[in-house]
Amino acid sequence: MALDNKTDFKYIGTRPERPDGLDKVTGKARYGADAYAPGMLHGAVVRSPHAHARIVRIDASKALALDGVKAVVTRADFAQDLEGEDWNLLENTIAGEKVLYDGHAVAGVAATSALIAKDAAKLVDVEYEVLPHVTDVDAAMAEGAPVLRDGAADHSVPDGLHPNVVRYTEFGRGDVEAGFAAADLVIERSFKTEAVHQGYIEPHACLAQLGTDGKGELWCCTQGHWFVRRMCAALLGLEATQLRVTASEIGGGFGGKTTVFIDPIALALSRKSGKPVKLVMSRSEVLKASGPTASASMDVKMGMTKDGKLTAATGTFRMQGGAFPGAPMDMTTMLAFSCYELDNVHHEGFDVMTNRPKQAAYRAPGAPMGAFAVESVFDELCEGLGLDPIDARLKNAVKEGTRSSFGPKYKAVGLIETLEAAKAHPHYSAPLAENTGRGIASGYWMNWGGETSVSLAIGEDGTVQVGVGTPDIGGSRASMALMAAETIGIPYENVRVNVVDTAALGVNEPTHGSRATYASGLATIEAAREAIGKLCQRAADKWGIDVDAVEWKDGAAHPSGPNAGDFEPLSIAEIAGEMGSTGGPITGHHDASPTGFGGSFGTHIVDVHVDPETGRSTVTRYTVIQDAGKAIHPDYVEGQFQGGAAQGIGWALNEEYIYGEDGRLQNDVFLDYRIPVASDLPMIDTVIVEVPNPGHPYGVRGVGETGITPPLPAIACAVSHATGHRMTRLPMSPPRVLRAIQGKGVS
Amino acid sequence: MVAVNLWSGLRRFTDGAEVVEVEASTVGEVLQELVKAHPGLDPVIKAGVSVAVDDEIVQRALHHPVRPDSEVFILQQFRGG
């Protein structure tokens, strides 16, 4: 869908209050754990205490003998003949022959209270035969590493690699050796990042009801309830449309709620007990078993001439995504060099299984790790050649028509505009305090379209309701309302947007891939335009003229010119007030898988103070500059920018999954798993750049994910400049930075 | 004929070719003809790919038109968070 030439927006670009705000700040909003049903049971999950073990026997007799226990489910209570990703999903939901990581679910229990369910879970006797384990990506690829599952590798893996390597990619173009030979400086570095969790505030929670007739209802916190429906139907052997899934309000997802963990177990418990079952994860369960992001081990080599032109680049990216295929090495490889024009470039990627939980998507999955390595080397090249890092980026930055490192050419994109805005920002030229370094980095996320279905209905008073299928995580209901209001020409307050259940619309992909404001917004605009067509028809019928002679503007039908006739405009309320007697309800609907999603580039500037005595890093100033295409509701665009930076700061400085020698997770509570809180952060400044996306009527680009891509390298460069030691391993925790300062390395 | 650009890792399924020419007028036909010419690509296509036609990532839009002079890339499947 092409970009309109509309530039005089009345509602878009304003900052009205979000429709769900009052309910959320007064505690009325209903989240996953806020659902209740008559006769409801409570569930608990039995989890593995081992990183890798064969299940010899499960004896639930003691648990079932406990007063109040109504059902126990194991793998035998789920579909039996699954293949491919459905099998992986089921195997992760509830173990079959082996447990594959600390916290892997083995059985589910339902009882009349949560306490009884937890006690009963402890009474389920599981006999294990403990097996050797591996949790590090490099160790898992090495000769002699324990094999998680023979035959898991797909067609992409060449012969000769360890069986834990389950997917492989390789692509590029040009002559990288000739490119390196033409460079004045070539730098090659190895990098490592640790797995981190999305850190959403709301743990996974659901209320499930499933009859033996295969009809069910599921209430859950999710980014995508159609995905949940499809996955649960597959894992339980149901027909998809017999399961109605309703998405609760959601306390954060960041990609981690695009899959299922406990929902199928709750449904199986309900089917077995004949009662509704509520299941809520503890924080420890969330961290152990709900899918963090991948960790990475990477080698990047880049060459640059003395005037700042890149001549060649290569990257090898080894990613572990837990005990199943799916580490996002494809996105890491495709996006690692996406900021730069390169004639000679080569990528290699490995997806490796380890004894860790199945990774889940996390905001721009795979991109931050690659950016960390590439932008760090770029910074070091600039340092070595005495170049300004923004000027050097401008010399290599991609623009419309540049061939991307992964193949196609870019359409209109805004990297250069973000770099120019960064250079002009007062932050870039502000003096630095002692022991403080400044880092610059750029990043990209290509965004997504996806299956989308939206319905819009005119009320009898001329107000409008919109039904969308993308759960509202970051204010998307307000954005949809603004786009509907703008299109129809009625006040924002006259539009109510509802996230409806799976029985109300066609399939909608989740709120993921930075797609909701783009795709649901585009469908909302088209649904509104369809309704406008019907409103105009009603006016034409009333006036006795052709509909082509009716024009819609400012929320009313007007004769389109003097030749159309002399009629007083008919407002939406006037037309809607009579619709029962002029042809019935007036609605609009739009289904699409739009492909005009435009990617978003961002550039971050950060100052970090490093205490030379302790190695503690403090972010003292942070500025995010990013292309939004068109900011529908600037508050929420800025919020996404700030949120991405905040999560990136945590990933860069503190967060990591720490496994012991026994393969068990050592830091499974927020006291030990250190995400940044408000007192750790400065006010994060934002600059919205608007290079309209030609694939959206109002120019929208998704903005949710790009913001987490530049922070890792920007902060690493700042710490490197503050300490004089190049930081190549995350997180840059105080002990690691102190070791670097003391000349003892960064590992 | 439409020239279809594959990622290098697929060369071992296409007798070393990184660009394969097929007779096709839609994305669906491109994928179908690729498998017909090089059956080793079948599991790759089935596992999921993204397709770019004339610089637009059209994902799995099988009906999307392709012209003889279109620039077509088969890319690894996109995933978002």
Question: Pick from A539, A570, A592: which residue ends a domain?
Answer: A592
Same-domain status, A611 and A710: yes
* Residue A135 confidence (pLDDT): 98
Same domain, A720 and A624: yes
Q: Note the pLDDT tens digit of each residue in B14-43.
A: 999 999 999 999 999 999 999 999 999 999
For residue A523, tell me if it sits in a domain.
yes
Q: Which domain holds residue A495?
A: 449-592
Single residue among A543, A568, A592 that ends a domain in this structure: A592
- Min Cα–Cα distance to chain A from B14, Å: 13
φ/ψ bin of A660: left (φ > 0), alpha (ψ from -120 to 50), beta (otherwise): beta
pLDDT at A264 over 90: yes
Q: Which stretches does DSSP call E strand in A540-656?
A: 550-553, 556-559, 570-571, 587-592, 600-610, 617-627
- Judge whether A279 and A94 are in contact, CB under 8 Å: no
Which residue, among A83, A85, A155, A709, would best test binding to B if mutated, counting the most B CBs under 10 Å from its CB? A155
Hey, is A445 helix, strand or coil?
strand
Could you tell me if A370 and A191 are in contact, meaning their C-beta atoms sit under 8 angstroms apart? no
Strand partners, A317: A298, A349
| Claim to verify: residue A527 and residue A563 sit in the same structural domain | yes
Residue A90, token pair as written in the block: 């089921």
Within 10 angstroms of residue A24's Cβ, the number of other Cβ atoms is: 13
Q: Which residues contact A622 (CB under 8 A, 6 or more apart)?
A: A604, A605, A606, A607, A645, A649, A681, A682, A684, A685
The alpha carbon of residue A619 is apart from the nearest alpha carbon of chain B, in Å, by: 26
pLDDT at res. B69 = 94
Other CB atoms within 10 Å distance of the CB of residue A159: 5
Q: For position A745, what pLDDT does the model report?
A: 76
What are the backbone dihedrals phi and psi of residue A206, each rounded to the nearest 5 degrees, phi first? Answer: -155, 160
Q: Does domain B2-76 have CATH number 3.10.20.30?
A: yes
Tokens of B18: 């990184």
Q: For A326, which residue in chain B has the nearest alpha carbon?
A: B79
Note the pLDDT of residue A240: 97
The band of B9, judged by pLDDT with boundaries at 50, 70 and 90, is: confident
**Residue spans per domain, chain B:** 2-76
Interatomic CA distance for residues B55 and A407, integer angstroms: 9
> Is A586 found in the same domain as A609?
no
Contact A407 B43 (CB under 8 A): no
Q: Give Cβ neighbours of residue A572 (< 8 Å, ≥ 6 apart).
A: A458, A462, A488, A489, A490, A535, A555, A556
Helices A263-273 and A225-236, axial angle in degrees (round to 10): 50
> By a Cβ cutoff of 8 Å, what residues of chain B touch chain A?
5, 7-9, 12-13, 40, 43-44, 47, 52, 55-61, 64, 71, 73, 75-81
Are residues A575 and A607 both part of a single domain? no
Q: Running DSSP on this structure, what letter comes out for residue A563?
A: G
Q: How far is A412 from chain B (nearest CA, A)?
A: 11
Give the residue among A604, A588, A589, A187 at the shortest CA–CA distance from A380. A187
Distances in whole angstroms, Cα of residue A420 to Cα of each of A306, A377, A387, A499: 21, 21, 16, 39
* Model pLDDT, residue A563: 86
User: Are A356 and A369 spatial neighbours (Cβ–Cβ below 8 Å)?
Assistant: no
Residues A602 and A737 in one domain: yes
Give the pLDDT band of residue A413 (cuts 50, 70, 90): very high
> Percent of chain A scored above 90 by pLDDT?
97
Residues in chain A: 747
Tell me if B59 and A169 make a contact (CB, 8 A cut-off): no
**From B54, which residue of chain A is nearest by alpha-carbon distance?**
A408
Confidence of residue A747 (pLDDT cuts 50, 70, 90): low
Probe site for chain B from A169, A171, A344 (most B CB atoms < 10 A): A171
A646 within domain boundaries:
yes
Distance CA A274, CA A254 (A): 34
A470 shares a domain with A569:
yes
Report the residue of A595, A696, A701, A709 to disrupt the B interface, i.e. the one with the largest count of B CBs within 10 Å: A595
Mean pLDDT across the stretch A548-569? 94
**Nearest residue of B to residue A411 by CA position?**
B55
- How many whole angstroms separate alpha carbon B40 and alpha carbon A425? 53
Write out pLDDT tens, residues A645-674: 999 999 999 999 999 999 999 999 999 999
Q: Point out the residue among A449, A450, A512 whose CB comes nearest to the CB of B81.
A: A512
Contact yes or no for A154 and B75 at CB 8 A: no
Q: Do A155 and B7 touch (CB under 8 A)?
A: no
Quote the minimal CA–CA distance from B36 to chain A in Å. Answer: 17
A564/A664 same-domain check: no
CA torsion, ordered B17, B22, B28, B31, to nearest 10 deg: -20
Nearest to A408 among B7, B43, B73 (CB): B73
Of A547, A562, A592, which residue is a domain's last?
A592
Pick the residue of A85, A86, A156 with the most B CBs within 10 A to test the interface with B by mutation: A156
Return all residues near A418 (Cβ < 8 A) that are at least 6 apart: A442, A601, A602, A603, A625, A626, A627, A689
User: pLDDT tens digit string along A491-517?
Assistant: 999 999 999 999 999 999 999 999 999
By Cβ distance, the residue of B47, B75, B81 closest to A254 is B81
Domain count, chain A: 2
Q: Are strands B72-76 and B2-5 parallel, antiparallel or unpaired?
A: parallel
Q: How confident is the model at residue A561 (pLDDT cuts 50, 70, 90)?
A: confident
Same domain, yes or no: A726 and A676: yes
Question: Which of residues A563 and A378 earns the better pLDDT score?
Answer: A378
Residue A233 lies in a domain: no
Q: Are A148 and A322 in contact (CB under 8 A)?
A: no
**pLDDT given at position B47:** 86
Question: Is A671 in the same domain as A724?
Answer: yes
The per-residue pLDDT for A1 is 63
Q: Which helix (H) or strand (E) holds A303?
A: strand A295-304
Chain A residues touching residue B80 (CB < 8 angstroms)? 255, 361, 364-365, 447-448, 512-515, 705
Q: What is the CATH number of the domain that holds A561?
A: 3.30.365.10
pLDDT at A673: 96
pLDDT band at B79 (very low <50, low <70, confident <90, very high): confident
Predicted confidence at residue A710, as pLDDT, reads: 98
Chain A interface with B: residues with Cβ < 8 Å: 154-156, 158, 168-172, 254-256, 258, 328, 330-331, 333-334, 361-366, 406-411, 446-450, 512-515, 593, 595-597, 695, 705
Give the best residue of A87, A167, A170 to mutate against chain B (max B CB count within 10 A): A170
Q: Is residue A557 domain-shared with residue A646, that is, in the same domain?
A: no
* pLDDT recorded at residue A746: 67
CB A240 within 8 A of CB A318: no
Residue A430 lies in a domain: yes
Neighbours of A322 (CB within 10 A): 27
Q: For residues A71-87, give the mean pLDDT.
A: 96
Q: Is the peptide bond before A292 cis (omega within 30 degrees of 0)?
A: no
Q: Is residue A117 part of a domain?
A: no
Confidence of residue A370 (pLDDT cuts 50, 70, 90): very high
Read off the pTM. Answer: 0.97
Is the pLDDT at A149 greater than 80? The verdict is yes
CB contact under 8 A, A170 and B8: yes
Same domain, A734 and A650: yes
Cα–Cα distance measured from residue A631 to residue A311, given in angstroms and rounded to the nearest whole number = 36
The reported pLDDT for the residue numbered A238 is 97
CB A206 within 8 A of CB A228: no
ipTM for the predicted complex: 0.95
Residues A566 and A350: their CA atoms lie apart, in Å, by: 70
